[in-house]
Amino acid sequence: MRAVVIEQAGLPTSVEELLIDEPREGEVAVRMTASGVCHSDLHVRDGEWPRPGPIILGHEGAGIVDAVGPGVTTLRPGQQVVLTWYYPCLRCRNCQEGRQWICTGSRSLQHRAADGTSRARRADGSSVLAYLSIGTMAERAVVPADAAIPIPDAVAPEVAALIGCCVSTGVGAVLKTADVPAGASVVVFGLGGVGLSVVMGAVLAGATRIVAVDRVAAKLDMAAEFGATHLVQASDPDATVSAIREAAGPDGIDFAFEAIGLTSTVEQAIAVLPPGGTAVLVGMTPVGQRASFDVFPFVDGSRRIIGSNYGFAVAANDFPLYADLHLAGRLPIDRLVEATIGIDDVEDAFDRMRRGEGLRRVIRF
Ligand SMILES: NC(=O)c1ccc[n+]([C@@H]2O[C@H](COP(=O)([O-])OP(=O)(O)OC[C@H]3O[C@@H](n4cnc5c(N)ncnc54)[C@H](O)[C@@H]3O)[C@@H](O)[C@H]2O)c1
Ligand SMILES: [Zn+2]
Ligand SMILES: [Zn+2]
């Protein structure tokens, strides 16, 4: 099978021909149909997050179950599935209490099968890891059965793929993490796949004022099409904060979503909050970076900051829910897809993403 591999974090990708094993106990083989290119792949590609290698990139993907390993009773060949990049252990306290997005026993971060080995190999027999244990930028993936979530066949593959990361992350940040009520005012910093999903979620939640912020003017037009009511082109931080305050009206912003992953915009998301406001941090910085804020007014105004991993997703419930909302015409996920691309076009997609150009590019296999 062909797969997008990096030798180690920070090096360019290459497309390699690999061998992949059959699924073992508790695993399924998935013939991948689509994989999005998310900025989290780019963080790894650019060496901003240390990760082991060689590793198959990609964590936003969907496909069709091809074979099930021994003991798998929940899935059957032919089913369309979305892969979750954080499959839960179902045993730790957070899982038991329903907070699977902060499962402390998940094996996803070992980038290997549950038994610690890997299923993909080079011709010389050396193993190749799979990013977040799914490695979706490959023609085939062998994954734990709990990482493959069935969704209706009527959902197009590229839409299904995006449910696997940016949609769940952005829509979930609004509906689940922040639980935005109807009539709220929100601002969204960054209008990539994640930020535009925040806009979609805010529309769905009934937010009446949705301020969209990006440094790229074309992104603002797209946000307007998704339902943003006010547009702010980012410039220097003080000017951006003033423009957002003006757009927010007299009551100010209830929820500020940061969907870029820069300390400067994290600080702006906190700075725009009126008393009682909440900053929801969704973007991920390079590891080790720190942001700061003025403590006295933050406490005095009872403001809040919430980190939001994976939009508080409980994949088995939320992926089918987002799929159904899409099929019902209430989440226009298809409009996030700028173009479908081939497996050889990932470096080009990364270049465009570094420049903030365009929407999601999705590999079709
Ligand atoms: N919390 C999670 O679980 C989770 C999940 C997925 C992605 N992420 C993170 O979310 C972030 C966004 O991901 P994405 O795939 O949407 O990225 P993206 O690159 O597609 O979008 C980022 C957007 O931010 C804009 N931008 C960049 N610098 C800016 C600035 N200074 N001011 C205003 N706008 C600016 C870009 O023009 C672009 O439109 C990344 O950091 C990614 O790692 C987090
Ligand atoms: Zn992602
Ligand atoms: Zn757990």
Index of the ligand 1 atom closest to the CA of residue 195: 16
Decide: 229 in ligand 1 pocket, CB within 6 A. Answer: no
Atom of ligand 1 nearest to the CA of 173: 1
- State the distance from the centre of ligand 2 to the C-alpha of 41, rounded, in angstroms: 7
Three-state DSSP at 365 gives coil
pLDDT tens for the chain, 365 residues long, are 999 999 999 999 999 999 999 999 999 999 999 999 999 999 999 999 999 999 999 999 999 999 999 999 999 999 999 999 999 999 999 999 999 999 999 999 999 999 999 999 999 999 999 999 999 999 999 999 999 999 999 999 999 999 999 999 999 999 999 999 999 999 999 999 999 999 999 999 999 999 999 999 999 999 999 999 999 999 999 999 999 999 999 999 999 999 999 999 999 999 999 999 999 999 999 999 999 999 999 999 999 999 999 999 999 999 999 999 999 999 999 999 999 999 999 999 999 999 999 999 999 99
How far apart CA 123 and CA 298 sit, in angstroms, is 57
Q: Is the CB of 234 under 6 A from ligand 1?
A: yes
Residues 6+ apart with CB under 8 A from 121: 18, 19, 20, 21, 127, 128
pLDDT value of position 288: 95
pLDDT of residue 143: 98
| pLDDT value at residue 22 | 97
Tokens of 304: 């809040």
CB-based burial, 125-148: b 16+ in 10 Å, e otherwise: eeebbbbbbbbbbbbbbbbbbbbb
CA-311 nearest atom, ligand 1: 3
Surrounding ion ligand 2 within 5 Å at CB are 38, 40, 165
187 lines ligand 1 (CB under 6 A): no
pLDDT tens digits for range 219-263: 999 999 999 999 999 999 999 999 999 999 999 999 999 999 999
The Å distance, Cα 82 to ligand 3 centre, comes to 20
Q: What is the pLDDT of residue 339?
A: 97
Q: How far is the CA of 264 from the centre of ligand 2 (A)?
A: 21
Direct distance between the N- and C-terminal alpha carbons of the chain, in angstroms, rounded to an integer:
11
Determine the Cα angle at 110 with ends 177 and 195, to 5°. Answer: 30
Task: State both tokens at 113.
Answer: 């099968």
| Ligand 1 pocket check for 284: Cβ under 6 Å | yes
Asked whether 60 lines ligand 1 (CB < 6 A), one says no
Verify whether ligand 1 is closer than 6 Å to residue 84 (CB atom). Answer: no
Mutation choice for ligand 1 from 86, 194, 236, CB with most ligand atoms inside 8 A = 194
Q: Whose CA is nearest to atom 43 of ligand 1?
A: 40
Cβ-based burial of 190 (10 A; exposed 0-12, middle 13-18, buried ≥19) = buried
pLDDT of residue 362: 98
Q: Kindly state if the Cβ of 36 falls inside 6 Å of ligand 1.
A: no
Find the helix or strand (DSSP H, E) in which 120 lies: strand 120-121
Atom 18, ligand 1: residue with shortest CA distance: 192
What is the model's pLDDT at position 265? 98
Ligand 3 centroid, distance to 98 Cα (angstroms): 9
Q: Which of 38, 162, 196 to mutate to test the pocket of ligand 1 (most atoms within 8 A of CB)?
A: 38
Centre a 10 Å sphere on the Cβ of residue 306 and count the other Cβ atoms it contains: 14
Measuring CA to CA, how many Å separate 60 from each of 131, 147, 183?
10, 12, 32
